[in-house]
Protein backbone atom coordinates (compact mmCIF):
# COMPACT_ATOMS: atom_id res chain seq x y z
CA UNK A 1 0.00 0.00 0.00
CA UNK A 2 1.40 3.38 -0.89
CA UNK A 3 -0.81 5.33 1.49
CA UNK A 4 0.43 8.37 3.35
CA UNK A 5 -1.07 9.23 6.74
CA UNK A 6 -1.20 12.73 8.17
CA UNK A 7 -1.46 12.86 11.96
CA UNK A 8 -2.34 16.10 13.70
CA UNK A 9 -0.88 16.56 17.18
CA UNK A 10 -1.59 19.37 19.61
CA UNK A 11 0.57 20.73 22.39
CA UNK A 12 -1.64 21.22 25.45
CA UNK A 13 -1.17 21.76 29.17
CA UNK A 14 -0.35 18.37 30.70
CA UNK A 15 -3.45 16.48 31.81
CA UNK A 16 -2.22 16.11 35.41
CA UNK A 17 -1.58 19.84 35.99
CA UNK A 18 -3.96 21.84 38.17
CA UNK A 19 -5.27 24.58 35.89
CA UNK A 20 -5.30 28.13 37.23
CA UNK A 21 -7.14 31.07 35.69
CA UNK A 22 -5.09 34.23 35.04
CA UNK A 23 -5.89 37.10 37.43
CA UNK A 24 -7.08 39.26 34.52
CA UNK A 25 -9.61 36.53 33.57
CA UNK A 26 -8.51 36.42 29.92
CA UNK A 27 -7.32 32.84 29.98
CA UNK A 28 -5.43 30.21 31.93
CA UNK A 29 -1.85 30.38 33.18
CA UNK A 30 0.46 28.75 30.61
CA UNK A 31 3.86 30.28 31.44
CA UNK A 32 6.14 27.80 33.17
CA UNK A 33 3.39 25.19 33.17
CA UNK A 34 4.16 21.65 32.02
CA UNK A 35 2.90 20.96 28.51
CA UNK A 36 2.67 17.68 26.63
CA UNK A 37 0.96 16.04 23.66
CA UNK A 38 -2.83 15.83 23.91
CA UNK A 39 -3.66 12.26 25.11
CA UNK A 40 -6.05 11.66 22.20
CA UNK A 41 -3.38 12.84 19.75
CA UNK A 42 -1.01 10.25 21.29
CA UNK A 43 -3.59 7.59 20.48
CA UNK A 44 -3.84 8.95 16.94
CA UNK A 45 -0.05 8.78 16.44
CA UNK A 46 0.04 5.26 17.87
CA UNK A 47 -2.65 4.11 15.44
CA UNK A 48 -0.80 5.60 12.46
CA UNK A 49 2.48 3.98 13.54
CA UNK A 50 0.71 0.64 14.05
CA UNK A 51 -0.67 0.87 10.48
CA UNK A 52 2.84 1.49 9.22
CA UNK A 53 4.20 -1.48 11.20
CA UNK A 54 1.51 -3.66 9.64
CA UNK A 55 2.69 -2.32 6.25
CA UNK A 56 -0.77 -0.94 5.48
CA UNK A 57 0.57 2.58 5.02
CA UNK A 58 3.89 3.77 3.72
CA UNK A 59 4.58 7.02 5.53
CA UNK A 60 3.39 8.77 8.68
CA UNK A 61 3.69 12.56 8.78
CA UNK A 62 3.14 14.39 12.08
CA UNK A 63 1.77 17.93 11.90
CA UNK A 64 1.40 20.58 14.57
CA UNK A 65 0.42 24.27 14.48
CA UNK A 66 1.87 26.80 16.86
CA UNK A 67 4.99 28.58 18.06
CA UNK A 68 8.52 27.18 18.38
CA UNK A 69 7.62 24.98 21.38
CA UNK A 70 5.32 22.69 19.38
CA UNK A 71 8.46 21.22 17.82
CA UNK A 72 8.84 19.30 21.12
CA UNK A 73 5.45 17.72 20.50
CA UNK A 74 6.36 16.86 16.91
CA UNK A 75 9.61 15.30 18.20
CA UNK A 76 7.57 13.11 20.55
CA UNK A 77 5.47 11.95 17.60
CA UNK A 78 8.69 11.21 15.66
CA UNK A 79 10.01 9.28 18.67
CA UNK A 80 6.82 7.20 18.65
CA UNK A 81 7.46 6.24 15.04
CA UNK A 82 6.34 8.99 12.68
CA UNK A 83 8.64 9.41 9.68
CA UNK A 84 8.79 13.18 9.39
CA UNK A 85 7.19 16.26 10.83
CA UNK A 86 5.65 19.50 9.60
CA UNK A 87 5.63 22.54 11.86
CA UNK A 88 3.09 25.15 10.81
CA UNK A 89 4.36 28.35 12.40
CA UNK A 90 1.67 30.32 14.18
CA UNK A 91 2.66 32.58 17.04
CA UNK A 92 1.57 35.43 19.27
CA UNK A 93 -1.96 36.74 18.92
CA UNK A 94 -2.70 34.37 16.03
CA UNK A 95 -1.82 31.40 18.21
CA UNK A 96 -4.02 32.58 21.05
CA UNK A 97 -7.02 32.71 18.74
CA UNK A 98 -6.13 29.58 16.73
CA UNK A 99 -9.11 27.26 16.76
CA UNK A 100 -10.53 24.18 15.02
CA UNK A 101 -11.69 26.16 11.96
CA UNK A 102 -8.22 27.54 11.22
CA UNK A 103 -6.47 24.24 12.01
CA UNK A 104 -8.84 22.27 9.79
CA UNK A 105 -8.18 24.70 6.91
CA UNK A 106 -4.44 24.18 7.44
CA UNK A 107 -4.81 20.39 7.61
CA UNK A 108 -6.97 20.35 4.48
CA UNK A 109 -4.39 22.38 2.57
CA UNK A 110 -1.57 20.12 3.81
CA UNK A 111 -3.50 16.97 2.96
CA UNK A 112 -3.79 18.16 -0.64
CA UNK A 113 -0.16 19.32 -0.78
CA UNK A 114 1.25 16.11 0.74
CA UNK A 115 -1.26 13.92 -1.10
CA UNK A 116 -2.35 12.20 2.08
CA UNK A 117 -4.78 9.30 1.91
CA UNK A 118 -5.74 9.26 5.56
CA UNK A 119 -5.85 11.86 8.30
CA UNK A 120 -5.92 10.66 11.90
CA UNK A 121 -6.60 13.13 14.68
CA UNK A 122 -7.49 12.92 18.33
CA UNK A 123 -11.21 13.24 18.93
CA UNK A 124 -10.78 16.39 21.02
CA UNK A 125 -8.16 18.41 22.83
CA UNK A 126 -8.22 18.37 26.62
CA UNK A 127 -7.79 22.14 26.78
CA UNK A 128 -10.61 23.43 24.64
CA UNK A 129 -12.69 20.22 24.32
CA UNK A 130 -13.98 21.42 20.93
CA UNK A 131 -14.28 18.04 19.18
CA UNK A 132 -14.54 19.90 15.84
CA UNK A 133 -11.25 19.76 13.97
CA UNK A 134 -11.69 16.25 12.52
CA UNK A 135 -15.21 16.90 11.38
CA UNK A 136 -14.38 20.30 9.86
CA UNK A 137 -11.33 18.90 8.04
CA UNK A 138 -13.44 16.15 6.49
CA UNK A 139 -16.04 18.69 5.39
CA UNK A 140 -13.46 21.02 3.83
CA UNK A 141 -11.90 18.14 1.89
CA UNK A 142 -15.27 16.53 1.16
CA UNK A 143 -13.89 13.28 2.58
CA UNK A 144 -15.82 10.72 4.62
CA UNK A 145 -15.18 10.71 8.36
CA UNK A 146 -14.97 8.01 11.03
CA UNK A 147 -15.10 9.84 14.33
CA UNK A 148 -14.76 8.44 17.90
CA UNK A 149 -12.99 5.43 16.41
CA UNK A 150 -12.34 2.59 18.81
CA UNK A 151 -11.28 0.15 16.10
CA UNK A 152 -9.86 0.62 12.61
CA UNK A 153 -9.50 -2.07 9.94
CA UNK A 154 -8.57 -1.88 6.27
CA UNK A 155 -10.81 -3.87 3.93
CA UNK A 156 -9.66 -3.68 0.29
CA UNK A 157 -9.84 0.05 -0.54
CA UNK A 158 -12.27 0.84 2.28
CA UNK A 159 -11.92 1.49 5.98
CA UNK A 160 -14.06 -0.27 8.58
CA UNK A 161 -14.48 1.98 11.60
CA UNK A 162 -16.11 0.95 14.87
CA UNK A 163 -17.33 4.11 16.55
CA UNK A 164 -18.10 4.72 20.20
CA UNK A 165 -21.46 6.43 20.37
CA UNK A 166 -24.08 7.02 23.05
CA UNK A 167 -25.63 3.70 23.81
CA UNK A 168 -23.00 1.48 22.26
CA UNK A 169 -20.87 0.88 19.17
CA UNK A 170 -21.57 1.65 15.53
CA UNK A 171 -19.66 0.03 12.66
CA UNK A 172 -19.33 1.93 9.39
CA UNK A 173 -17.49 1.39 6.11
CA UNK A 174 -15.94 4.47 4.56
CA UNK A 175 -13.96 4.94 1.38
CA UNK A 176 -10.45 6.31 1.34
CA UNK A 177 -9.28 9.06 1.45
CA UNK A 178 -10.87 9.71 4.84
CA UNK A 179 -10.54 11.46 8.19
CA UNK A 180 -10.56 9.43 11.40
CA UNK A 181 -10.64 10.78 14.95
CA UNK A 182 -9.30 8.58 17.72
CA UNK A 183 -11.24 7.74 20.87
CA UNK A 184 -9.80 6.50 24.15
CA UNK A 185 -10.00 2.76 23.50
CA UNK A 186 -8.49 2.71 20.00
CA UNK A 187 -5.08 1.56 21.28
CA UNK A 188 -2.43 1.84 24.00
CA UNK A 189 0.07 4.52 23.03
CA UNK A 190 3.75 3.66 23.50
CA UNK A 191 5.88 5.86 25.73
CA UNK A 192 8.51 7.91 23.90
CA UNK A 193 11.59 6.82 25.86
CA UNK A 194 14.95 8.58 25.74
CA UNK A 195 16.57 6.16 23.21
CA UNK A 196 13.61 6.72 20.84
CA UNK A 197 13.86 10.48 21.24
CA UNK A 198 17.58 10.31 20.42
CA UNK A 199 16.95 8.22 17.28
CA UNK A 200 14.21 10.63 16.21
CA UNK A 201 16.64 13.56 16.18
CA UNK A 202 17.70 12.45 12.69
CA UNK A 203 14.16 12.80 11.33
CA UNK A 204 13.25 16.02 9.58
CA UNK A 205 10.73 18.65 10.61
CA UNK A 206 9.73 21.01 7.80
CA UNK A 207 8.68 24.60 8.54
CA UNK A 208 5.63 26.06 6.86
CA UNK A 209 3.64 29.27 7.33
CA UNK A 210 -0.16 29.37 7.03
CA UNK A 211 0.20 32.02 4.31
CA UNK A 212 2.25 29.53 2.23
CA UNK A 213 -0.78 27.24 2.32
CA UNK A 214 -3.13 30.08 1.46
CA UNK A 215 -4.85 29.93 4.82
CA UNK A 216 -6.10 32.94 6.76
CA UNK A 217 -5.73 32.24 10.47
CA UNK A 218 -7.72 35.21 11.74
CA UNK A 219 -10.43 34.21 14.15
CA UNK A 220 -14.07 35.24 14.16
CA UNK A 221 -14.35 34.42 17.83
CA UNK A 222 -13.45 36.63 20.78
CA UNK A 223 -12.98 35.31 24.30
CA UNK A 224 -14.86 37.62 26.64
CA UNK A 225 -13.85 36.11 29.94
CA UNK A 226 -12.58 32.95 31.56
CA UNK A 227 -13.77 31.95 35.03
CA UNK A 228 -13.12 29.10 37.42
CA UNK A 229 -16.02 26.74 38.07
CA UNK A 230 -18.02 27.73 41.21
CA UNK A 231 -16.50 26.47 44.46
CA UNK A 232 -18.26 23.47 45.91
CA UNK A 233 -20.23 24.43 48.98
CA UNK A 234 -19.64 22.36 52.10
CA UNK A 235 -22.44 19.99 52.99
CA UNK A 236 -24.38 20.19 56.27
CA UNK A 237 -24.93 17.24 58.58
CA UNK A 238 -28.24 16.91 60.44
CA UNK A 239 -29.13 14.79 63.49
CA UNK A 240 -32.77 13.89 62.97
CA UNK A 241 -35.33 13.64 60.18
CA UNK A 242 -37.15 16.70 61.62
CA UNK A 243 -33.91 18.67 61.26
CA UNK A 244 -33.60 17.55 57.65
CA UNK A 245 -37.15 18.60 56.84
CA UNK A 246 -36.56 21.92 58.62
CA UNK A 247 -33.38 22.60 56.64
CA UNK A 248 -35.05 21.70 53.33
CA UNK A 249 -37.94 24.05 54.10
CA UNK A 250 -35.41 26.79 54.93
CA UNK A 251 -33.69 26.34 51.62
CA UNK A 252 -37.05 26.61 49.92
CA UNK A 253 -36.79 23.12 48.49
CA UNK A 254 -40.13 21.84 49.86
CA UNK B 1 34.50 -0.47 37.50
CA UNK B 2 33.68 -3.19 34.97
CA UNK B 3 34.13 -1.29 31.73
CA UNK B 4 31.62 -2.83 29.29
CA UNK B 5 28.80 -2.67 31.84
CA UNK B 6 29.56 0.92 32.84
CA UNK B 7 27.87 2.04 29.61
CA UNK B 8 24.83 -0.11 30.40
CA UNK B 9 24.52 1.32 33.89
CA UNK B 10 24.83 4.90 32.64
CA UNK B 11 22.28 4.24 29.90
CA UNK B 12 19.86 2.85 32.48
CA UNK B 13 20.38 5.83 34.77
CA UNK B 14 19.76 8.34 31.97
CA UNK B 15 16.65 6.52 30.79
CA UNK B 16 15.22 6.36 34.30
CA UNK B 17 16.02 10.03 34.88
CA UNK B 18 14.15 10.92 31.68
CA UNK B 19 11.14 8.86 32.77
CA UNK B 20 11.24 10.51 36.19
CA UNK B 21 10.13 13.83 34.72
CA UNK B 22 6.55 12.54 34.56
CA UNK B 23 6.60 10.94 38.01
CA UNK B 24 3.38 11.79 39.92
CA UNK B 25 5.18 12.70 43.14
CA UNK B 26 7.51 15.07 41.34
CA UNK B 27 10.83 15.03 39.46
CA UNK B 28 13.02 15.87 42.49
CA UNK B 29 11.41 13.13 44.63
CA UNK B 30 12.16 10.60 41.89
CA UNK B 31 15.69 11.86 41.24
CA UNK B 32 16.64 11.64 44.93
CA UNK B 33 15.47 8.07 45.25
CA UNK B 34 17.03 7.09 41.91
CA UNK B 35 20.42 8.42 43.01
CA UNK B 36 20.16 6.70 46.40
CA UNK B 37 19.24 3.40 44.77
CA UNK B 38 22.18 3.55 42.34
CA UNK B 39 24.66 4.75 44.99
CA UNK B 40 23.71 1.86 47.26
CA UNK B 41 25.17 -0.54 44.68
CA UNK B 42 28.15 1.51 43.55
CA UNK B 43 30.76 -0.86 44.99
CA UNK B 44 29.54 -3.99 43.24
CA UNK B 45 32.11 -5.30 40.75
CA UNK B 46 30.82 -8.78 39.84
CA UNK B 47 29.54 -8.48 36.21
CA UNK B 48 26.86 -11.13 36.90
CA UNK B 49 25.44 -9.12 39.76
CA UNK B 50 25.61 -5.88 37.78
CA UNK B 51 23.76 -7.49 34.86
CA UNK B 52 21.04 -8.66 37.25
CA UNK B 53 20.63 -5.17 38.68
CA UNK B 54 20.49 -3.61 35.20
CA UNK B 55 17.77 -6.11 34.25
CA UNK B 56 15.86 -5.13 37.36
CA UNK B 57 16.26 -1.49 36.31
CA UNK B 58 14.79 -2.30 32.87
CA UNK B 59 11.85 -3.88 34.67
CA UNK B 60 11.35 -0.69 36.66
CA UNK B 61 11.25 1.23 33.36
CA UNK B 62 8.46 -1.05 32.15
CA UNK B 63 6.58 -0.62 35.43
CA UNK B 64 6.83 3.17 35.18
CA UNK B 65 5.56 3.15 31.60
CA UNK B 66 2.59 1.04 32.72
CA UNK B 67 1.96 3.36 35.68
CA UNK B 68 1.97 6.43 33.46
CA UNK B 69 -0.35 4.85 30.92
CA UNK B 70 -2.87 3.67 33.52
CA UNK B 71 -2.93 7.02 35.30
CA UNK B 72 -3.57 8.85 32.06
CA UNK B 73 -6.13 6.31 30.80
CA UNK B 74 -8.07 6.40 34.07
CA UNK B 75 -8.05 10.21 34.14
CA UNK B 76 -9.27 10.43 30.54
CA UNK B 77 -11.90 7.74 31.12
CA UNK B 78 -13.19 9.57 34.19
CA UNK B 79 -13.38 12.89 32.35
CA UNK B 80 -14.67 11.81 28.98
CA UNK B 81 -16.54 8.52 29.23
CA UNK B 82 -20.05 7.95 30.49
CA UNK B 83 -20.13 5.67 33.54
CA UNK B 84 -21.22 2.18 32.55
CA UNK B 85 -24.49 0.90 34.02
Instruction: Please report, in tens digits, the pLDDT of each residue of chain B (85 residues total).
Output: 457 788 999 999 999 999 999 999 999 999 999 999 999 998 888 999 999 999 999 999 999 999 999 999 999 999 998 776 5
A64-73, A115-124, A171-180, B42-51: segment of lowest average pLDDT: B42-51
Q: Which of A144, A140, A48 is nearest to A103 (CA)?
A: A140
Q: Where are the domains of chain A?
A: 3-251
pLDDT at B45: 87
CATH class as words, domain A3-251: alpha beta
pLDDT of A149 strictly over 60: yes
pLDDT for A83-104, tens place per residue? 999 999 999 899 999 999 999 9
Contact A87, A70 (CB under 8 A): yes
Cα–Cα distance for residue pair A71/A64, rounded to 1 Å? 8
Chain B residues whose beta carbon lies within 8 Å of the beta carbon of residue A126: 76, 79
Higher-confidence residue: A237 or A155? Answer: A155
Q: Give the integer Cα–Cα distance in Å for A241 and B9.
A: 67
Other beta carbons within 10 Å of A46: 21
Contact residues, chain B, for A186 at CB < 8 Å: none
The Cα A75–Cα A204 span in angstroms is: 9
Using the beta-carbon criterion (under 8 Å), do B79 and A126 form an inter-chain contact?
yes
Contact B65 A191 (CB under 8 A): yes
Output DSSP code: residue B36.
H
Residue ranges of domains in chain B: 4-81
Q: Which residue of A has its CA nearest to B62?
A: A191
Q: Quick one: average pLDDT of A154-163?
A: 93
Amino acid sequence: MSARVLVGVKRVIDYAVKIRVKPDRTGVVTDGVKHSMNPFCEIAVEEAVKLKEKKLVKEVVAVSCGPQQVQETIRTALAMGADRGIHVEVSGKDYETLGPLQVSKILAALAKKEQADLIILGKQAIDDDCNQTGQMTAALLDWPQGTFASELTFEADKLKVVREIDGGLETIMIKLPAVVTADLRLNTPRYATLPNIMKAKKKKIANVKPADLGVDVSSRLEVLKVDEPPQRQAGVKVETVEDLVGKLKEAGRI
Amino acid sequence: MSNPLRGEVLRLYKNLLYLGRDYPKGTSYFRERLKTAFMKNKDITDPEKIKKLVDRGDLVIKELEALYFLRKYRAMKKRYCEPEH
